[in-house]
Chains A and B, each alone.
Chain A
């Protein structure tokens, strides 16, 4: 002891950098936390050095209140007084805790996405996602895709006549709702992965955005410690019972006078006709949410059946009274694993989703294909359950002849229809991804003793290399336009490319290289249909999935809309034009805003994140 103390001044040996950071948050939201009797949960997020804000590498929390035109003091999570206590304890009246919770929840979400996608995430242009915990006064939160992407949280006073289980007139902060934070951040992530899904080109595009954000928010509940075990004990393993686990934004919903949680995993009984009657994106998205959860519950029930039999001497009927804590722990572990598998499956659909004009059917096909490549046998029955749950709600792709797994999978590219992706590009993206997975997050600096961290020079080099790879891919796309389902006469834009390292059953690892290519319909087509389209752009494109050697395995394409011509490409293009026009006509038919809006943006001024997330 004496030696160590004496030598301190000359010591150069650093402490190892921490890997994780623990932070306290409200369990779901202040109201649910208060009612459940355990206010706080501590979650663990990847460590990165932070500036006040918190401001990290991917996320910057800026506490500017536009309604009051002022800032609130930012939290410094590096201050040792709160480092010792896993951050500030939950508090509704200290904005610094609010900032901490937004940072913690978004960071945990980003980690989950990175895990699912098998690569590091970066925002476009290495920008940071800005989060505004108290952006404005109003019962709302929203994602703003412009200005590099921001997520904005409002605050409001609870309804005075019908505040639910809140105090009448108390302040309700949407940034203290785990679900609202995850929902808005997921919009930002989906936008990062598929920028063009902000264009309302069919009824499903915003419904997918909303439904996917709710699916992620609900499954993130299962990652919260303690919560799961408590509800399994309380509801005797029945996860379909109404509980904070399967409800979204309870405080928000009750505080704004609706008397209940805003949305729920438990939709109405499956009705294949409901989809055809539901136009509003949240409502339509809810059908997708109910389907995903239906599949989850059935797989979960199957996975705990043996545990229940063991615990009940084979009857499977639980006795009266409290469940054995060991059983609860084992059941919770199964629920958590199944939830994580399902969430990962949903996230991995992005390996295959087309770059424009998503449909729920395309989501189902992409999720099934991605999962099948990693878990060929479907031993847990996850995919089968998912397909069945979607079918029961009338969601199926319109371009397949049966619901067998073979029919649902995106078709593999046969033989030598396409030459391999240029080797340099494959090598580059695979190495970049491999290096990225080794890096720790942090500011741009060479800290002695730190793990590898990207320097300014690295960043410049990466940007140059990216531009070069994009140019090569663009040349490749031009040369093979026909086989990629693209129009050779139109400009092709390389919207993004990346490699992923994905792991599946039996130690299976897949390296995939994914390229997204986008085309715009010719200017004269936009001009001809401009007034009728009300601002909806006409685009097509494809997602190309190659293996680690560059061999192209899948091409998922949406033809660029066109007005005339022969051949399968032109036919697909005409069908897309007709579908888009039909959709726009239907929307304008329903829309109260339409007659009074600027014709150039009649549709887009109604269908966008700001309008749709009204009441998020």
Chain B
């Protein structure tokens, strides 16, 4: 096989959109991995323009657009928002890959999804008034039902849906690309991983809707209740500084901790796949975080596989626990090219993590960023809409 896999990384902001092309007899084989942006991290390019460019690129001379594979790694807004667009209805798709938790026919998946959705909704409600950035983090985890509908039921050409779970043994064929193979490394579906995706019981945010809500009044009958002013007059020796009184409730912190927990939990439902075309090895881990990587790094055969990767899509926009130090430092090869799709948000200055990017940009390695001019031979859209990188086959 000759030629290259061309990976186009869109400058979509804090989010992911990757279009892969491989020359095949009579045209190109194309795959789209995610299309979404975080509400706090839009780039100067509107997501509509990204969608338009994808469809235009995928169109044949008659104007009929076709994608051989569409992957929705996980249901976060910064990965799927673009699928809300109506134009997808005209695009012919061969196969759609989604994580097993999205399978509408799977009872276990459905109940897990319902728990996550209820929590995301409750959390978003609780933040909506007070703190927009935290609300947005919760919002990112909301169902994104319209986009998910497209992925589950939309597109032209009645695509096959493949609900992926990790299979550390087999290589699968890739539809429309003879000779290529794909390994599905995530999301895991063993008992321990499912337990980890389920919320901790103690966390009140994860109860069924309605139960957590309480009237908020005194818990004892009125004869025991004293208002603060009367109490101060009657029992001066028990005086309490107001600052201390205010510290007693830390609900917002609890809710924020729950939000971050939920965020990671959904991230760890990401489809992680390794595409093999000739000698090209491309690793797309979605937003996998620490828990999802652990099992992979503990399996020697998978470590060996990961060490052959020549293009790595940096997980979770470069957060410090999206890519374990061990993966960056010890497993990935000395010549790997890493793609970083992120737009820095001042409030979350640790994403991307500087040390991680430095590690992946060591001499011999290369990091390409979606929002920065790329070195030769990488190509860039004249207006900065995307950068393109070739991985030799």
* Chain B hits for A139, CB < 8 A: 202, 204
* Chain A hits for B265, CB < 8 A: 592
Q: Which of A53, A95, A588 contacts B321 (CB 8 A)?
A: A588
* Chain B hits for A258, CB < 8 A: 201-202
Please give me the residue from chain A that is nearest to B225 by CB atom. Answer: A70
The answer, yes or no, to whether B319 is at the interface (CB within 8 Å) is yes
Interface residues on B, range: 35 or more
* Chain A hits for B214, CB < 8 A: 137, 157
The answer, yes or no, to whether A594 is at the interface (CB within 8 Å) is yes
The answer, yes or no, to whether B221 is at the interface (CB within 8 Å) is yes
User: How many whole Å from B224's CB to the nearest CB in chain A?
Assistant: 5
Interface residues of A, count at CB 8 A: 64
Q: Which of A62, A134, A591, A596 contacts B219 (CB 8 A)?
A: A134
User: Is B221 within 8 A of A93, CB to CB?
Assistant: yes
The answer, yes or no, to whether A532 is at the interface (CB within 8 Å) is yes
Per the 8 Å Cβ criterion, residues 105-159 of A in contact with B are: 130, 132, 134-140, 144, 146-147, 150, 152, 155-157, 159
Given contacts A134-B219, A588-B321, A593-B260, contact A72 B245 (CB under 8 A): no
User: How many whole Å from A19's CB to the nearest CB in chain B?
Assistant: 25
The answer, yes or no, to whether A489 is at the interface (CB within 8 Å) is no
User: Is A599 within 8 A of B349, CB to CB?
Assistant: yes
The answer, yes or no, to whether A257 is at the interface (CB within 8 Å) is yes
* Chain A hits for B349, CB < 8 A: 599
- Binary A-proximity of B293-326 (CB < 8 A = 1, otherwise 0): 0000000000000000000000010011110110
User: Is B231 within 8 A of A71, CB to CB?
Assistant: yes
User: Is B202 within 8 A of A589, CB to CB?
Assistant: no
The answer, yes or no, to whether B351 is at the interface (CB within 8 Å) is yes
- Binary B-proximity of A574-604 (CB < 8 A = 1, otherwise 0): 0000000000010011111111110100100
* Chain A hits for B289, CB < 8 A: 592
Docked CA distance A132–B349 (Å): 38
* Chain B hits for A69, CB < 8 A: 228
The answer, yes or no, to whether A388 is at the interface (CB within 8 Å) is no
* Chain B hits for A130, CB < 8 A: 240, 244
User: Is A136 within 8 A of B248, CB to CB?
Assistant: yes
Q: Which stretch (B49-57, B249-257, B376-384) binds chain A?
A: B249-257
Q: Which stretch (A5-13, A550-558, A607-615) binds chain B?
A: A607-615
The answer, yes or no, to whether A52 is at the interface (CB within 8 Å) is yes
Docked CA distance A135–B245 (Å): 9
The answer, yes or no, to whether B68 is at the interface (CB within 8 Å) is no
User: Is A596 within 8 A of B225, CB to CB?
Assistant: no
User: Is A610 within 8 A of B250, CB to CB?
Assistant: yes
User: How many whole Å from A443's CB to the nearest CB in chain B?
Assistant: 10
User: Is B238 within 8 A of A146, CB to CB?
Assistant: no
The answer, yes or no, to whether A67 is at the interface (CB within 8 Å) is yes
User: Is A256 within 8 A of B202, CB to CB?
Assistant: yes
Q: Which of A51, A71, A137, A606 contacts B226 (CB 8 A)?
A: A71
Docked CA distance A258–B257 (Å): 20
* Chain B hits for A70, CB < 8 A: 218, 225-228
The answer, yes or no, to whether B195 is at the interface (CB within 8 Å) is no
Given contacts A95-B220, A602-B350, contact A590 B321 (CB under 8 A): yes
Please give me the residue from chain A that is nearest to B210 by CB atom. Answer: A160
The answer, yes or no, to whether B243 is at the interface (CB within 8 Å) is yes
User: Is B348 within 8 A of A137, CB to CB?
Assistant: no
User: Is B249 within 8 A of A60, CB to CB?
Assistant: no
User: Is B224 within 8 A of A589, CB to CB?
Assistant: no
Given contacts A147-B247, A256-B201, contact A599 B237 (CB under 8 A): no
User: Is B350 within 8 A of A611, CB to CB?
Assistant: no
Please give me the residue from chain A that is nearest to B355 by CB atom. Answer: A532
User: Is B321 within 8 A of A599, CB to CB?
Assistant: no
The answer, yes or no, to whether B81 is at the interface (CB within 8 Å) is no
Given contacts A147-B243, A147-B247, contact A137 B219 (CB under 8 A): yes
The answer, yes or no, to whether A94 is at the interface (CB within 8 Å) is yes
The answer, yes or no, to whether B163 is at the interface (CB within 8 Å) is no
User: Is A65 within 8 A of B260, CB to CB?
Assistant: no
User: Is A590 within 8 A of B249, CB to CB?
Assistant: no
- Binary A-proximity of B198-213 (CB < 8 A = 1, otherwise 0): 0011111001100100
The answer, yes or no, to whether A35 is at the interface (CB within 8 Å) is no
The answer, yes or no, to whether A90 is at the interface (CB within 8 Å) is no
* Chain A hits for B316, CB < 8 A: 595
User: Is B244 within 8 A of A150, CB to CB?
Assistant: yes
User: How many whole Å from A531's CB to the nearest CB in chain B?
Assistant: 8
Docked CA distance A94–B260 (Å): 39
* Chain B hits for A589, CB < 8 A: 290, 320-321, 324-325
Closest 3 CB pairs of A and B: A615-B202, A66-B248, A592-B264
**Interface positions of B (Cβ within 8 A of A):** 137, 200-204, 207-208, 211, 214, 216-221, 223-228, 231, 235, 237-238, 240-241, 243-251, 253-254, 256-257, 260-261, 263-265, 289-291, 316, 319-322, 324-325, 348-351, 355
Known pairs A65-B218, A589-B321, A595-B351 / 9 extra A-B pairs, C-beta < 8 Å: A64-B245, A69-B228, A96-B224, A136-B251, A150-B244, A152-B248, A159-B207, A589-B325, A615-B202
Question: Can you list 17 A-B contacts (CB < 8 A)?
Answer: A53-B238, A60-B238, A73-B225, A96-B224, A130-B240, A139-B204, A147-B241, A147-B244, A160-B211, A161-B208, A257-B201, A589-B321, A592-B289, A595-B319, A595-B321, A611-B253, A614-B254
**Interface positions of A (Cβ within 8 A of B):** 51-53, 55, 60, 62, 64-74, 93-96, 130, 132, 134-140, 144, 146-147, 150, 152, 155-157, 159-161, 171, 256-258, 532, 585, 588-597, 599, 602, 606, 610-611, 614-615
